Each structure stands twice: as structure tokens, then as C-alpha cells.
Amino acid sequence: MKTFRVLLLLLLTVLLLPVRVASADEPTAETVTEIYSAEDMLKIPANPNGSYRLMCDLDLSGIEWPSFAFYGTFDGNGHMIINLNCPKVSEETRVTYDGNRKTYDTHFAGLFAILDHATVKNVRLLGLSLFHTVECDCFLGGIAGYATDSTIEGCEITGTIRLDVKGKMFGVGGIIGYGNAVIRNCHADVTLVNIDLDATTRDEEFLGGVCAAGYPDIEGCEIKLAGFLSDHGFVHSGGLVGMYIVYPKKFDRNGFIKNTVLNGFITFFEDNTNRRAYCKEDCGEVMDWEFHTSGNKFSFKRDERKTYNVNLMPHGDCKNPDMSESTVAPQCQTPGYTLHVCHTCGYTYSDNYVLPIHTLSETYETLTASTVEAEGLGEFTCTECGAKVRKAIPALTPTPMPAPKPTATPTVAPSSDKTDKQKDDSSSGSILPYLLPVIIGVPLGAIAAFAYRAYRKKQIRKKRAAQARRNRAKQNREQ
């Protein structure tokens, strides 16, 4: 009986094998989508809850990057995204708070417009260019315009973020515009420009090298900031955070700003008879003292202006600008770019980034084979740094067909036996998982049937012997 049970269990295991193999191939919630191209990046908004990993450097020149809310994980994997341009702010809004905790329905833009319980890590944004002119409440940030309960770690941002705006609540931040997030081990070298276009509205304006307004936790970051504010309302600006505010009002929280280095300045004017002119090296205005600071280093200049008829710009003070351009060539592990220098005042900036140039091996792994009709895709290895680079493999050159020879006899079509055999051979690999249970299961089934028949015969013999004993006992009693 025990042998029969063991054989039956083996038989069931083999028969269920294809089911388990199929289940192992199914995607799960942990599946990471790998990104190799701008086209792959543009698919993220269709699944904003997903997990993504950047597999190579990307140039987004000419791509209109959309503003959308993201709830998943984006791992830059140490790679760079250059020349990001996001021409529109988000249609979706979130609530923001001013210093009186008055609320505003606000729009956003950045690499992600909104981060909600999301993670962004190890991505390098170089040559970032965010420039928006809007007539709504709005915040811009390098990684995100708005963040809540999110993590931003190991990221690098280099570029210019500018907001020209008619609104009542707005601002710009080097890493996030507004909100709360853990921001750790990030580097930002940013020029932030905020211009208020409406002199009749006493707006609330915010600017910060890390965050314009909110209550971020900041640790181990390095910030280089050039800030320019032209505001006819109330200015809240800081080297790290424009206004540190915990919201809503009764929410209790302990945060931190530690081990962070700032080098930079903020040049601003506040055209307002009831001037506040908040501008400090760490946080311009602090609404809540519920955070810990330690280990920070600041080199900061507060430059307040009293002339309001000219908007402040990065190159605005130079009377006789003498600009020159030079090209920095890309290397194996560093991008190229165009460097602009003013020889009068020393103002410099860079743009037009170019991806690093790798020295690729002659051999490659074929990912998609070339055909006569289309290019293939191969993965090459850089012989200098070892980076993996995917590159198109040219389409095959069609082989010219030889001219048919004249013949008096009709051409006989080849037998289809070989073709059928080739089809059978080519399909054998795909049906093997289904043949395997038959190959193993039939012998096991036969053995199980044989064992079962032997077991039944043994049971019949036992019954017959027992019946014979009972019959003899009855005969003895009758005698």
C-alpha cells in the first residue's frame, strides 16, 4: 500500500509540472521594467505604479517629456539623462499651504510632476532645462514639482529651472518644489529663476536649493545654488529650504537637516510695502522648529536689491557682456557640452549636452537579429570602462537571386516531407514541456497499475483465507 501511495504522488507531481513552470514565468508585482531608450521612458506614464531601472545613458533632446504623477520606483542605476525638457505643467493638482496654512490647488513640473509614496534613486539629470510661463499656482523641481512620503536618494541635478508666473502661490526648488520627502546623498548644481509677472497681487513666493517649501528630511547633500527672485509679494527663500512648514496645522513631526554642504547665493527683490524679505542660508522662514540640524556647512550670500523695475537674471548685472563659446568633447565616462563664458563678469553656464562616447568591442551579443527588412539590436561592451551599450545592427543586404536557366522540362516542386520534418524539429522544443509528463507519466502509471493489481490480489487471498478459517471453525462447532 505504501509503495502505491508513493508512486501515485510521483505521478501527480509530474502531471502538475507544466502548471508550475508556466506560473514561474508570469510577471509579479516585483517585476522591474528595464529602460533602454527614450521610447521606453515615454511608456512610464501608462503604468505609474511600476518599478523601473535605467540601463543606459539617455539623451532626451527633442522629446517633450510629460508632467505626470508617479507612485512607483525609478532606479537610474547610475546612468544619466541629458537635455530633459518638460514643456507643460501637470493637469493634475495637489493642495499646497502658505505660511498661514491657507490652501491652494497647485500644478507642478519636473522629471516627475508628482511623487506620491514613490522612490527615485541614482539618476543623473544633466543639462536640465525647465522653463515655464503660467497663470496658475505652480511649483517646479528638478526631480519633482511635488512630493509626499517619498524617497529621493543618490541623485544628481545640473541645469536651470525658471518659472515666470501670474499666481498667488508658487516657487522653484533644486530637487523638489513643494512637499515632504527623505532627500539623501544628492548633488545639485542649479540656477533657479523666479519672476512674478503680476505686480498687483500680493503672492506667496518660495525658492530653495533643495526644496522651495515643505518639510523635507535632508542628509548628506551637496548644493551649489545661484538664485534669482523678482517678486511683488512675499519672498521666502533659503539656501536649502525657502520655508520650512509642517502641515496641516495640528500635525506633529520631528525631522532633520544634517551633514549637508551649501555654496551659493540668492539675489532678490521684494516689491511690497509690508516687506518680510525672508532669505537665509538654511531655511528662509521656519514655521515649525520640530527638526534637528547638525553637521551642516554653509557658504552663502544674501543679496537683496531695492530696484524693482528690472527683473533679476543670471546675467543681468553685466554692463558690457563679452560672451564666448567652447565645446567640451565627450569622454568615455563624462558627457560633452557647450560652455558659455562672459569675459567681463565671469558668468558661465553650459548647455547642449552630448552623451559619453564609448569604444565598443567588435563582438556583441545579439538581442534581436537583423533581417533584410529591419535592423537588429546588439549589446556591445566598452573596451575602456566595461559599460554595456545597446546599438542597432544594420539590416542584412539582400542576396541577389540568380537568373533562372532555360529548360524544356517543367520544374518539379520539392517534396514537402523535408519541410514538414523541419517544422516538427523546430516545434519540438516548444512542446517538450508537454511531452515530458507523458514520457515519464506513462511508465509510472503502468507501474502504479501493476502495483495496484498485486495489492488487490493479495487482499483477495487474505479474504479467502479468512473465510476458509471461519468455515472450518463452523464445521468443528457443528460436530
The stretch 130-136 carries a mean pLDDT of 96
Report yes or no on whether pTM surpasses 0.85: no
DSSP H helices, 38-101, are: 38-41
With left for phi above 0 and alpha for psi between -120 and 50, is residue 62 left, alpha or beta? left
Going 243 to 249 to 253 to 254, the CA torsion angle's sign is positive
Give the separation between CA 40 and CA 376, rounded to whole angstroms: 17
Judged against a pLDDT cut of 70, whether residue 64 lies above it is answered with: yes
Judged against a pLDDT cut of 60, whether residue 117 lies above it is answered with: yes
CA distances from residue 240 to 68, 105, 177, 227, 264 in whole angstroms, order as listed: 25, 24, 12, 11, 10
- What's the fold here for domain 31-314? Pectate Lyase C-like (2.160.20)
SS3 241: strand
Q: 48-78 b/e with 16+ CB inside 10 Å = b?
A: eebebebbbbbbbeebebbbbbbbbbbbbee
- What is the structure's pLDDT at 250? 78
| Residues above pLDDT 70, as percent of the chain | 84
Q: 374-405 b/e with 16+ CB inside 10 Å = b?
A: eebbbebbbeeeebebbeebeeeeeeeeeeee
Judged against a pLDDT cut of 80, whether residue 90 lies above it is answered with: yes
Place of cell 533584410: 372
∠172-175-178 over CA atoms, to 5°?
Answer: 55
Higher pLDDT, 446 or 87: 87
Give the separation between CA 210 and CA 219, rounded to whole angstroms: 11
Residue 390 has which C-alpha cell?
Answer: 545597446
Residue 104 has which C-alpha cell?
Answer: 491652494
Please state whether the peptide bond connecting residue 356 to the residue before it is cis, i.e. omega within 30 degrees of 0: no
Which residues, at least 6 apart from 276, have a Cβ–Cβ distance to it below 8 Å? Answer: 234, 235, 236, 270, 285
Domain boundaries, the chain: 1-29+437-465, 31-314, 358-395
Give the separation between CA 321 and CA 342, rounded to whole angstroms: 6
Going 358 to 364 to 369 to 370, the CA torsion angle's sign is positive
Judged against a pLDDT cut of 60, whether residue 228 lies above it is answered with: yes
CA distances from residue 133 to 159, 320, 375 in whole angstroms, order as listed: 18, 28, 42
Residue 126 has which C-alpha cell?
Answer: 544633466
Judged against a pLDDT cut of 50, whether residue 375 lies above it is answered with: yes
Which tens digit of pLDDT belongs to each residue from 274-314? 888 999 999 999 987 778 999 999 999 999 999 998 999 99
The stretch 305-330 carries a mean pLDDT of 90
